């Protein structure tokens, strides 16, 4: 066993923070650790702190907590830092989208080909990306040997930016690879009998290996498509792993897009709501339509209401949440019901990779993860140094990336990953050099842009939003990061 200090930045996100607390309580090798919960929202911070302490007490785990609104306090002498903060919150994302749509950009200027996820902002998200860099540079002073587990979006731009602006050890995390499990379950297979591998960029990963008991699993997928794809219907806006869009991408690129990747196709699937419904299913048209995202926001509010109820009613035992959920008020999201089953179990883990990753490093327990790390020939068609999402075994010596075999198809690399990488490079060029012209050029290449003046106008109005004063100064004065 080894105790460490783990700082959770943006800990006011109660559901995610409690998933981490759940895993820590049930990972005996990290007993005695200190968890520093940090958020600038005092009410949310107090609520998570209270829930975490109640849960640890009920479970009889050996963990200590501190709460702080001071980033430096959280980072001081930390061994691991988990950054999950969303600077400006969802209010900022929606305000930028509102301005963008007024200027003719359906679903916002950050909704781009191969990057349609509704909170994965890359060119209007100065405050978020700058915060990533600020955290990393503070870590260089306060905990230079610590690992930064980058969780907040945009993970692809964020991990690349952090690596170029600091010397901190950074690794990106996402759970999109669990799309493999969804696909396998839909095909009626046992995941334990499947040899699978994914590779690409964050939110841009592809199933390069799919072997079932020594046989080509893609043949089984082809049979499912032929017999069952016409009956497919989404259970939620996020249920897209075998959507018409995913199947169409598979047929074109030669490998199946996994997790969030089906959301990140070309404009073919995303021109408007009716097109989205065709490719992502009725009634929502996927998670990133106006209907799908409204569903998600309603779910967030219902989750917040449920968390607040738990915080106020301290008589409710968190280890008996299953009982509580049976009596829960209408509107509690299904996700929270599933979470309740995890919390109510004495040993069930959340599925997030963070805590087991830490345990593998600290206690030298080899485990397989899918993580975002710098390319070192892992995907030879892509430049070294660019952060890729790949499977790796992690132990006390760090990560050991698997040989990506068979390789990604030429179409995946040339037609999908390279254009996505170019957009990342433009976003990083803009922010690192304070160059507004790059932001405008980014939009000039957008099919929704009808004139240079349109691109300039939307950028200027976003920069004039309250809270974007530093963004405006950064680009007007061409300040380098």
Residues annotated in the binding site, as ranges? 153, 174, 203
Per-residue pLDDT at 88: 95
| Contact between residue 206 and residue 198 where contact means Cβ atoms under 8 Å apart | yes
Supply the DSSP string of 412-460, one letter for each residue.
IIIIIIHHHHHHHHHHHHHHHHT-HHHHHHHHHTSTT---HHHHHHHHH
Q: Which residues, at least 6 apart from 425, have a Cβ–Cβ distance to it below 8 Å? A: none
Q: Does the annotation mark 474 as catalytic?
A: no
Q: Is 260 a catalytic residue?
A: yes
Which of 70, 7, 4 shows the shortest CA–CA distance to 42? 70
Yes or no: say if 140 and 166 are a contact pair by the CB < 8 Å rule.
yes
Cis peptide before 404 (omega within 30 of 0): no
Per-residue model confidence as pLDDT tens digits over 21-80: 999 999 999 999 999 999 999 999 999 999 999 999 999 999 999 999 999 999 999 999
Catalytic residue among 62, 175, 181, 435: 175
3-state helix, strand, coil in the chain (%, to 5): 50, 15, 35
In angstroms, the first-to-last Cα distance of the chain is 40
Query: CB neighbours (10 Å) of residue 160?
Result: 25
Asked whether residue 302 carries a pLDDT value surpassing 90, the answer given is no
Binding-site annotation, residues for substrate = 153
pTM above 0.75, yes or no: yes
Which residues fall in the annotated binding site for Mn(2+)? 174, 203
Under 8 Å between Cβ of 282 and 273: no
- Give the tens place of pLDDT for each residue, 328-354: 656 565 666 677 788 778 888 999 999
Write out pLDDT tens, residues 432-481.
Answer: 999 999 999 999 999 999 999 999 999 999 999 999 999 999 999 999 99
Question: pLDDT tens across 135-171, in order?
Answer: 999 999 999 999 999 999 999 999 999 999 999 999 9
Adjacent-strand bridge partners of 373? 388
Catalytic residue among 79, 119, 260, 359: 260
* Three-class SS state of 115: strand
């Amino acid at each position: 066993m080894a105790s460490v200090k783990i700082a959770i930045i943006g800990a006011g996100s109660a559901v995610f923070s409690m998933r981490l607390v759940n895993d820590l309580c049930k990972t005996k090798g990290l007993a005695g650790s200190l968890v520093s919960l940090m958020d600038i929202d005092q009410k949310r911070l107090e609520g998570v702190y209270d829930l975490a302490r109640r849960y640890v007490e009920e479970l009889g785990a050996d963990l200590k907590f501190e709460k702080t609104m001071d980033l430096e306090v959280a980072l001081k002498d930390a061994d691991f830092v988990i950054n999950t903060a969303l600077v400006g919150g969802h209010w900022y994302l929606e305000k930028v989208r509102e301005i963008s749509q007024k200027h003719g950009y359906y679903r916002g200027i950050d909704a781009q080909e191969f990057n349609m996820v509704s909170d994965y902002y890359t060119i209007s998200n100065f405050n978020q990306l700058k915060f990533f860099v600020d955290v990393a540079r503070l870590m260089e002073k306060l905990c230079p040997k610590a690992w930064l587990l980058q969780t907040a979006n945009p993970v692809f731009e964020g991990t690349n930016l952090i690596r170029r602006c600091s010397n901190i050890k950074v690794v990106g995390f996402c759970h999109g690879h669990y799309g493999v499990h969804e696909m396998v379950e839909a095909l009626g297979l046992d995941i334990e009998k499947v040899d699978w591998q994914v590779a690409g960029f964050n939110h841009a990963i592809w199933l390069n290996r799919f072997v079932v008991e020594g046989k080509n699993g893609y043949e089984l997928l082809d049979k499912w498509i032929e017999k069952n794809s016409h009956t497919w219907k989404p259970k939620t806006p996020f249920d897209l792993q075998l959507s018409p869009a995913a199947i169409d991408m598979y047929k074109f690129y030669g490998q199946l897009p996994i997790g969030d990747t089906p959301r990140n196709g070309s404009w073919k699937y995303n021109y408007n709501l009716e097109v989205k419904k065709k490719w992502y299913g009725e009634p929502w048209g996927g998670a990133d339509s106006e209907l799908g995202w409204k569903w998600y926001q309603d779910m967030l509010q219902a989750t917040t209401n449920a968390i607040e109820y738990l915080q106020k009613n301290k008589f409710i035992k968190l280890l008996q949440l299953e009982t509580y959920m049976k009596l829960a008020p209408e509107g509690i999201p299904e996700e929270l019901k599933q979470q309740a089953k995890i919390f109510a179990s004495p040993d069930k883990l959340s599925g997030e990779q963070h805590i087991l990753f830490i345990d593998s490093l600290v206690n030298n327990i080899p485990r397989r993860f899918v993580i975002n790390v710098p390319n070192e020939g892992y995907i030879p068609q892509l430049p070294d140094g660019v952060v890729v999402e790949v499977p790796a075994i992690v132990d006390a010596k760090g990560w050991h990336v698997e040989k990506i075999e068979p390789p990604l198809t030429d179409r995946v690399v040339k037609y999908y990953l390279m254009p996505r990488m170019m957009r990342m490079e433009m976003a990083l060029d803009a922010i690192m050099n304070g160059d507004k012209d790059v932001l405008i050029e980014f939009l000039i290449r957008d099919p929704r842009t009808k004139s240079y003046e349109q691109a300039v106008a939307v950028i200027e109005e976003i920069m004039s939003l309250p809270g974007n004063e530093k963004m405006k100064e950064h680009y007007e004065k061409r300040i380098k990061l």
